[in-house]
Amino acid sequence: MAAGGCPSPVIRGREKELDTVRELVRRVKRGRSGGLLIEGECGLGKSLLLGQAARIASEGHVQVTEGPVERAGDEAAIWWDGLGKRSEQTPLLISMDDLQWAGQAAWQALTTLPDRLGRYPVAWMLARRVPDQDGGSDWLFERLEERGATRLRLGPLASSAAADLITDVAGAAPGPGLLDLARGAAGNPFLLHELVAGLVEESGVAIRDGQAVALRTPMPRRIHAAVRHMMHGAARATWHLLETAAVLGRSFRVRDAAVMLGTPPASLLPCVEEAIAGRVLDTADGALVFRHELIWRAFAEGLPQPMAQALHRQFGEILLARGGSPASAGAHLLSGAGEEDTAVLAELDRAAAEVLPTVPQVAADLANRALALTQPTDPEILPRTAAATEALTAAGQPGRATRLARSTLAVPMPAGASARLRCALSSAVLLNGQAPQALVEASKVLSEPRVAGATRDDAKTVRLQALAGVQDYHRAGELAAAILAEPGEQRCEMVTTAMVVLAGVMWDAGRLSEAMEVSANAVRLATGQPTGAWRLHPHLFLAARLVDLRRFDEARAVMRSAPGRRLDALEPIQWSVTAPMLDARIALAAGRLDDAVRHAQDTLATAAEQSRCTGAAARAVLAAVALRRGDLKAAREHLDGAGTPEQTSMGPWHSMVAAQVTEAADGPQAALTMVTAAYDEAGRHRFPLLCEPALPSWLVRTALAVGDHDRAEAVGAAAAQVAGGNPGLAAVTISAAHACGLLERDRGRLELAAEEHLDQWARASAAEDLAGLELETGLRPRAISRLDQALKDYQAAGAVRDVARVRRRLRRLGVRRGHWRAEDRPVSGWGSLTATEQAVCDLISQGLTNQQAADLKFISVHTIAFHLRQVFRKLGVSSRVEMTRLAVEQARTATAAKPATAAKPATAKRGPAAAGRDGSVNDRTHSYSV
């Protein structure tokens, strides 16, 4: 292979090397001799450095001459002796490049340089490419270095120097996209220059906002020319190897290349050696790898499209034939597929089916490619549409799957022919949170008597889950029991789904211990088995119930034991949404509100990326956090973003949070109206009572606040019945004690709840309720003690709004607890406002009256007026209009500077909830974060 060099006049990242050159020139000007040996891989700038040395020498009035590398023996010696005489008049610099091609005679002669020219003012610079295939220049450089020559080894450019080089060529600093593309040059300045210059020439770079932005990613013609230049002189067999191997990937195995070329691996040895010597290939982990991504891409993209397509197809078939990775085989078949190529389309079908359980995204790509290449009249169009729908659903794209299936089903066709596709549609809409539509589609499939096998099983499983999704627990339980009672071998995933649904039905009926046992059996059965994208995951169901019971360590252990922890099959679609959701609930219960927000937002981000669910539960967590922090506007916005009940199955917990937000803004009557079903069906459906430990007591308190004792008693009785039927579950026992103690004004039960509730917020809630009862019975010191307990636990739980309410109750009892911290603040401006002053400013700026703001902050209207006067003074304003303008500007600045997780200013759309007399139980009509 011939040498390559960088034709660019720009030199970057060689400051130390240039300093060495300057020192050599100064030495020869002082009448002394010296030598410099430059070596490096092709394209690292050896020739460019020689050119810069010539310029530096000329500017210093030193003659420059290029040595006759091709001459040898006595002829070269005579020429060098003549140079010695010339140097007596003017110092001389001899420059010689490409010494790896000089030959043995020249190398022998060059070793005499120090002896022949050492007494003259002559400097010489020799450059060579490494590695040297023949090794002769290695011997030469070692001998000359021993005789005093300085040796410079050029390496890749540092990232900063590479960025400078790109700036020189592109005319602006590189943006992230161009930098990513340039990393393929691995710091080789020749390749880097040719890449950027080629992109500029072909309009592949634009200057935007002062940065050079890459507009296209195919390799420019300059890179292809650079590769030809670097490979000049290589054997044709080596070219053939590299072109074929590029199709296999940047890294490939020799045996694969040999099979593709139809030759034994031994015959490739000379080609591999030449490619390694030319620094095109290298070895890594038992394979060969193209050293530079740009060179690999140049070979891969340089092939004619029909040839590349044929090679991809050939290698895909080889992989399938030897039983290799279906994902790898499918990727090559995907690149090699062409229209009306029935054999390749059949291989795509096969590969898609094989990779579906492990790499659903690849399966979706394969199935959609096969479908796109299928003619509308082809009999395979329907099964391929069904396969593509199934793969898209498994890959977490139920929206695309639904559109594809519905567009095909819009054309009339026999029921039997469309059964698989309609079943796939039911799975997609179920995964997208649309249980009613899933129930309709699955029922249509099951109504066709000729449908059997896997399609019927899948439709039955979808129907089972959809019944649970629409909370038709009676029919869901009957179907689950029927599946489990069927004789013969059942598909594992259908059996585990039936077990999970049955466990859910038991849970809703209050048979918690039985439900836990059945779901634990489902976990054991499912271990080691794949779980469909739309099927209930036994591990996640059991973990969620353990979170309900506040058994967090056990919940985490179940999640760690799940096969979905590998995240290499269909599990990620459920796991990536549900697992962070459970983490969010655990963090919320522990009072780690920032962590709860982070996990909930992770859930929403994943759901949005894959368009498979609305993330209603995650929005409920965000609303609960906002409620604790007293930000009613943000709480409502989070709930409004969850969609309507027709769009998604919101679930009982989401409904409860929505009711609590409504209670905080509009009062207990409005809240009770939203959850009347939870009261009226408390004796039959227990899920709403079991989502959080403090929910039964909240329902009781809300009903009592509006004088609805019948509904309060219904909830208390249901909670007591669940506790009585599950004596070993502490969470439900304490929850029932709290609800019944509140209902019956039972000090002993409230004391149990205040001491034993399994999370801080619930304990604080029970302590506050107990304080109200103590005040009713005239035990003021004990009430104050319990309010202090509630204050401490609310603070630990991050419940700002609840803390403010308890402080008000203490103030009314003549007790003030300090809560302002001494902080270093400026004396004026927004930064000088205390947290309370900022909160008051936010409320008033959004149109609330002083009375409304006082009710929301649980302080007096006079205190609000005092804080407003302080705000006016510190901000230097005299009206609410001026203050509002500054508040809006501050909010915009904060939004631009902070991440989306930052809390919003507190406000409410309507007036505060009605409060009862001081110290009464009804004074607790406030929003409870669950």
- State whether residue 128 is helix, strand or coil: strand
671: pLDDT strictly greater than 90: yes
Phi and psi (nearest 5°) for 299? -65, -45
Q: What is the mean pLDDT of residues 557-579?
A: 59
CB atoms near residue 616 (< 10 Å): 26
Confidence tier at 750 by pLDDT (50, 70, 90): very high
What pLDDT is recorded for position 490? Answer: 64
Which of the 8 DSSP states describes residue 920? S
User: What type of residue sits at position 887?
Assistant: A
Q: Are 909 and 636 in contact (CB under 8 A)?
A: yes
Confidence tier at 625 by pLDDT (50, 70, 90): very high
CA 679 to chain centre: 41
* Distant-in-sequence, close-in-space partners of 535: CB < 8 Å, separation ≥ 6: 461, 465, 493, 496, 497
529: pLDDT strictly greater than 80: no
What pLDDT is recorded for position 916? Answer: 36
Rounded to whole angstroms, how far apart are CA atoms 573 and 144? Answer: 65
Q: Do the strands 281-284 and 287-290 form a parallel or antiparallel pair, or are they unpaired?
A: antiparallel
630-670 pLDDT tens trace? 888 889 988 886 554 433 445 788 889 999 999 998 999 99
Kind and range of the H or E element at 96?
A: strand 92-96
Report the candidate in 713, 716, 732 with the shortest Cα–Cα distance to residue 724. Answer: 732
What pLDDT is recorded for position 858? Answer: 67
Q: Are 573 and 610 in contact (CB under 8 A)?
A: yes
Q: What is the mean pLDDT of residues 387-404?
A: 90
Q: Do the strands 92-96 and 122-129 form a parallel or antiparallel pair, or are they unpaired?
A: parallel
902: pLDDT strictly greater than 50: no
CB atoms near residue 712 (< 10 Å): 22
CB atoms near residue 565 (< 10 Å): 13
CB atoms near residue 918 (< 10 Å): 12
What pLDDT is recorded for position 388? Answer: 94
Long-range contacts of 176-184 (CB under 8 A, 24+ apart): 177/213, 177/214, 178/205, 178/212, 178/213, 178/214, 180/214, 181/214, 181/217, 183/293, 184/292, 184/293, 184/294, 184/297
Report the candidate in 297, 108, 335 with the shortest Cα–Cα distance to residue 217. Answer: 297
What pLDDT is recorded for position 442? Answer: 93
Residue 131: is the preceding peptide bond cis (ω within 30°)?
yes
CB atoms near residue 102 (< 10 Å): 25
788: pLDDT strictly greater than 50: yes
Q: How far apart are the first and last CA of the chain?
A: 73
135: pLDDT strictly greater than 70: no
User: What type of residue sits at position 322?
Assistant: R
866: pLDDT strictly greater than 50: yes
Mean pLDDT lowest among 69-73, 84-88, 739-743: 69-73
Q: Are 170 and 203 in contact (CB under 8 A)?
A: no
Q: What is the mean pLDDT of residues 564-569?
A: 40
CB atoms near residue 126 (< 10 Å): 28
567: pLDDT strictly greater than 70: no
134: pLDDT strictly greater than 70: no
What pLDDT is recorded for position 531? Answer: 56
- Conformational region of residue 915, where left means phi above 0, alpha means psi within -120 to 50, and beta covers everything else: beta
Residue identified by tokens 């026992």 is 733
Q: Are 280 and 295 in contact (CB under 8 A)?
A: yes
What pLDDT is recorded for position 537? Answer: 80
Tokens of 282: 């290298």
Q: Do the strands 251-252 and 287-290 form a parallel or antiparallel pair, or are they unpaired?
A: antiparallel
Rounded to whole angstroms, how far apart are CA atoms 483 and 477? Answer: 10
Q: What is the mean pLDDT of residues 772-785?
A: 92
Report the candidate in 150, 142, 125, 100 with the shortest Cα–Cα distance to residue 49. Answer: 125
In 738-865 the beta strands, taken as DSSP E runs, fall at none
Q: What is the mean pLDDT of residues 712-739?
A: 95
Kind and range of the H or E element at 54?
A: helix 46-59
What pLDDT is recorded for position 696? Answer: 96
Report the candidate in 818, 821, 755, 805 with the shortest Cα–Cα distance to residue 919. Answer: 805
Tokens of 603: 């859930």
Rounded to whole angstroms, how far apart are CA atoms 349 and 336? Answer: 14
CA 10 to chain centre: 40
Mean pLDDT lowest among 357-371, 804-818, 826-840, 897-911: 897-911
Confidence tier at 577 by pLDDT (50, 70, 90): low
- Alpha-carbon Rg for the chain, nearest whole angstrom, is 38
User: What type of residue sits at position 92?
Assistant: L
* Distant-in-sequence, close-in-space partners of 859: CB < 8 Å, separation ≥ 6: 804, 808
Average pLDDT in the chain: 83
Confidence tier at 498 by pLDDT (50, 70, 90): very high
Instruction: Give 153's strand partners.
Output: 39
Q: Are 49 and 157 in contact (CB under 8 A)?
A: no
221: pLDDT strictly greater than 60: yes
Kind and range of the H or E element at 206?
A: strand 205-208
Which of the 8 DSSP states describes residue 921? G
Is the C-alpha dihedral spanning 605, 609, 614, 615 positive or negative?
Answer: negative
Rounded to whole angstroms, how far apart are CA atoms 561 and 528? Answer: 10
Q: Do the strands 63-66 and 211-214 form a parallel or antiparallel pair, or are they unpaired?
A: unpaired
829-855 pLDDT tens trace? 787 787 778 888 888 887 788 888 777
Rounded to whole angstroms, how far apart are CA atoms 204 and 586? Answer: 50
790: pLDDT strictly greater than 90: yes
* Distant-in-sequence, close-in-space partners of 781: CB < 8 Å, separation ≥ 6: none
Confidence tier at 534 by pLDDT (50, 70, 90): low
Give pTM, 2 decimals. Answer: 0.63
26-61 pLDDT tens trace? 998 888 888 999 998 888 888 889 989 999 998 888
CA 880 to chain centre: 44
Say how many CA atoms lie within 13 Å of 300 toward its Cβ: 19
Q: What is the mean pLDDT of residues 609-625?
A: 73
Q: Are 199 and 216 in contact (CB under 8 A)?
A: yes
Q: Above pLDDT 90, what percent of the chain?
A: 38
The DSSP line for 537-553 is -HHHHHHHHHHHTT-HH
Rounded to whole angstroms, how far apart are CA atoms 835 and 818? Answer: 14
Q: Are 696 and 733 in contact (CB under 8 A)?
A: no
What pLDDT is recorded for position 19? Answer: 92
Q: Are 47 and 7 in contact (CB under 8 A)?
A: no
751-760 pLDDT tens trace? 999 999 988 8
Q: Are 163 and 174 in contact (CB under 8 A)?
A: yes
435-448 pLDDT tens trace? 899 999 999 999 98
* Distant-in-sequence, close-in-space partners of 671: CB < 8 Å, separation ≥ 6: 659, 660, 662, 663, 702
Higher pLDDT, 384 or 647: 384
910: pLDDT strictly greater than 90: no
